Amino acid sequence: MIMHVTKGQLCGAVVIVLITTFIYVGRFSLHHFRPFYAPSISYAEKTTGAVVVELTGDTDHKGIYFVPPQTSVSDLFRIAKVTNIKRFEEKTLAVVLGTGEKVIIDSNQIKIRE
């Protein structure tokens, strides 16, 4: 039994293969073209007047944190479950955070930026 394929069927099959390939390849490469980085909200305190800070840098616990007022860097690390904080200066760990600040962990150093 011999099956004959028409020119239209062949063109249709090629188009389907090209579309499928584009979707497959695009799924892996298009995420690099996102225009903005939007960190996730990692923790939210349910009280009014929460302080909004971002934790970033050399940590697996990056994100936006809504913490209570008068939260120190050490408190933020406890909330974020950052371990091995003894490597940082106590003076820096005691800094009280304000809304809009970014805490950056850089190997054995902490940077706080507005």
Q: Write the pLDDT tens digit of every residue in 40-88.
A: 677 776 677 889 999 999 888 899 999 999 999 999 999 999 988 888 9
Q: Which pLDDT value is given to residue 71?
A: 94
Residue 100, sorted as left (phi over 0), alpha (psi -120 to 50) or beta, turns out to be left
In terms of Cβ atoms closer than 10 Å to its own Cβ (0-12, 13-18, 19+), residue 95 is middle
3-class DSSP state of 67 = strand
Mean pLDDT of the region 9-34: 81
Q: Give percent of the chain with pLDDT exceeding 90.
A: 46
What is the model's pTM? 0.62
